[in-house]
A and B are shown apart, each in its own frame.
Chain A
Amino acid sequence: MNWNNLLFVIFPYIALAVCVIGSVYRSIYRPFTISSLSSQLLERRKLYWGSISLHYGILIILLGHLLALLLPRSLMWWNAVPVRLYLLEFTGLALGIWALAGLVILVYRRLTSRRLWPVTTRMDWVVLILLLVSVITGVWTATFYRFGSYWFTAVFTPYLWSLITLQPRPEFVAPLPWVIQLHVFNFFILLLIFPFSRLVHIVTYPLGYLLRPWQIVVAVRGRITPQTQ
């Protein structure tokens, strides 16, 4: 076994297993501990600049990665025209820098707002640092290994699909520069700590709110017909 297999085949599977089992266990047996742990009550000015930038920046970029994984052909079709490729790359880079700015503000906020110290755990720092590594290596890749959206479909789409289909082909990752390898490996670390950190709040994003009735009435023996408006 070589390092490449360890880091990009074995570790990802371990991380994914821990992530899924841990998250399910936590949501069933330790539901009280799951929370976005908002600290807006204690500090709001810096949070405004940091939180919105980080969340929207990362969310859109993650969706972009997902799109490249699920619809590689459409992405290649889009990138066939240079202007569209530049547009996409520029947007991605801008979003990355936006998220990075948000992260830096949040780190600064945790350090300087005295009121946040009692609610800052070691794991909060681990998450912040891992996210920093993720965003910095991502922005680095987008800047120096152009054009990510172009070669992603040839490298990562098959690599990730090989992992998903349980026929791992780590040779796709082996020849990549270390920055990109770090970006990938860092993602698997994030997966690993996912159930043990505040990151779990991601899976509780309340999409059900769009559909549920306004009012919820609970009877001793279960829910009863709520009023709708």
Chain B
Amino acid sequence: MNVRAHMSMLFHLDKCIGCHTCSVACKNLWTDRKGAEYMWWNNVETRPGSGYPTQWENQEHFQGGWEFKDGKLRLRLHSRAAGLLKLFFNPALPSLEDYYEPFTYRYQDLFNAPAGDDQPTAIPISMITGEPMEIKSGPNWDDDLGGSNIYARNDPNLEDVPAEVRAQLDELERVVFNYLPRICNHCLNPACVAACPSGAIYKRQEDGIVLVNENRCRAWRMCVAACPYKKVYYNWSTGKSEKCILCFPRLETGQAPACAHSCVGRIRYMGVLLYDADRLPEAAMVPDEQLVDAQRDAILDPFDPEVIAAAKANGLGDDWIRAAQLSPVYQFVKVWKLALPLHPEYRTLAMMFYIPPLSPVVSVIEDGLFRLDLSDANHDFELFHRLSAARLPVQYLANLFTAGNQEIIRQTLVKMLAVRLYMRRKTVDGEVDEKLIKLLAEAGTTPQEAEAIYQLTTQPTLEERFVLPPYHREMAVEAWKDPLAHKGEAGLGYLQVPRRGE
């Protein structure tokens, strides 16, 4: 057993209101720079929808992630030799049109325009060329589906959803959507690291954060194509790749990442997961339907004395083990089994987890009126037994979170519904009857667990949502500097302006 710690984020999609505060916080902090204008290390997508960059899930086109064939795990993008041959032009690399051309407006015109009969206007200009441009696309262009059903129809996850189920999504009046906030997944088996010819991308052993060493990056751009989530970006100005750094400077000083900290809906949780590095990459080498379970198996129980001993042997301190025990992510992922990785079929073992959204029952329009597909009596339990009537098709969610395994999605949703019914009965009606306890058991849970899920879902404090271990950076500095000899110095002496080379 080779125990390592991982900082993981958890997104409770049922709570996401799609306000993009996370994206803005991230943008202001990290990507408000020349060359990075088009990057959204954190973005929020409307689902069903085509996402950002457009149709990023279409791996036939973008060649991201790993393929499991004949008992071997291969990068979909290239073999080593083929990668070197494709350095001069990489056909799988998305172009700026797949994102959007960043723009601003010429605000000075509003002040400097000569007096005239018309109101001056601020015309849009490109942030690359500085010239006037026609805006064809932008960040969150398809937010809330942008008043069109094209974006939802183009969702790659709808491919194998039956036509009659799709039809219920197609019609704009009846379309249903939820939000999908995305950051880098800081995978256990990252395709970007494997694809980088320069070896510039690496995973930090202490907390699993995947980073680009820009001093080693040579702009071969294979990471951009290989990442199935399209979360590595190429800075066109500096000629280096950039990606989400999980706000490690904030984590190292005991603060949650900016996106999580600013989250209005408080949908984000942050905590330590212990995992067994010896089970990698085998956990990614199982058939599609077993991927979620294999990944859950690689995550270890921080209360198990054997795991604790192995963790200590690997240099993990008591404070990190304690943080792992208190981790809300561990509770949701491993104990309650409510949280799932995004697109496990990419086999990168994504380490950010999602609690899938519940949705109301299907409604139909009759004589210009909405009619819910419910019987009059007892509709409390309707959806519980008839998930096929949920407006977000189970198969669609399965395509997003379980590599098509509908059973896992069903178990997850049923458990969430059970908790909801239980708490509603308890708080509204003030009674818990036999029928309800039976229902909880049917969903594989107990009143105690339901209470705990309810507590952590709806009423966690900041400290319960973000359980951040101490990084002890003051000790890490010893690795390359003698702290006493450099007492009184400012910074670490590496400061050079990250400017484009000639």
Contacts and interface: CB of A to CB of B under 8 A. Distances in A.
Interface of A: 30-42, 44, 47-48, 51-52, 55-56, 114-115, 117-119, 121, 123-124, 196-198, 201, 204-210, 212, 214-222, 224, 227, 229
Given A33-B502, A209-B84, A42 B218 contact: no
A215 B93 CA distance: 21
Interface stretch (B22-30, B41-49, B202-210, B287-295): B202-210
Interface in B259-292: 277, 280-281
A35 B240 CA distance: 7
Contact of A209 (B80, B129, B238, B280): B80
Nearest to B472: A220
Interface stretch (B190-198, B321-329, B366-374, B379-387): B190-198
Interface stretch (B153-161, B300-308, B394-402, B492-500): B492-500
Given A36-B87, A51-B88, A210-B80, 12 more contacts: A35-B219, A37-B219, A38-B239, A40-B90, A115-B126, A118-B237, A197-B502, A205-B84, A215-B190, A216-B193, A220-B479, A227-B281
B100 interface: no
Nearest to A124: B502
A114 B234 contact: no
Nearest to A221: B479
Contacts of B234: 38, 41
Quick one: which of B214, B218, B234 has the most chain A CB within 10 A?
Answer: B218
B221 interface: yes
Quick one: which of A34, A121, A205, A229 has the most chain B CB within 10 A?
Answer: A229
11 contacts: A35-B218, A38-B220, A41-B96, A42-B128, A44-B89, A48-B89, A115-B128, A209-B84, A216-B203, A217-B205, A222-B479
Give the top 4 A-B pairs by smallest Cβ distance, nearest first: A33-B501, A206-B197, A35-B239, A31-B215
Given A30-B496, A115-B128, A215-B193, A220 B80 contact: no
A150 B479 CA distance: 58
B129 A206 contact: no
Contacts of B281: 215, 227, 229
Contacts of A118: 128-130, 237
Nearest to B216: A31
B81 interface: yes
Given A48-B89, A227-B281, A218 B205 contact: yes
B201 A39 contact: no
Q: Size range of the interface on B?
A: 35 or more
B131 interface: yes
A32 B206 contact: no
B286 to A, nearest CB: 15
Contacts of B203: 215-218
B501 A209 contact: no
B213 to A, nearest CB: 9
B476 interface: yes
Contacts of A36: 87, 218-220, 239
A203 to B, nearest CB: 10
A40 B221 contact: yes
B202 A218 contact: yes
B300 to A, nearest CB: 17
Given A119-B236, A206-B199, A218 B496 contact: no
B501 A34 contact: yes
B199 A212 contact: yes
B215 A216 contact: no
Interface in B306-330: none
B77 to A, nearest CB: 12
Nearest to B126: A115
Nearest to A38: B219
B405 interface: no
A227 B280 contact: yes
A123 B205 contact: no
A44 B91 CA distance: 9
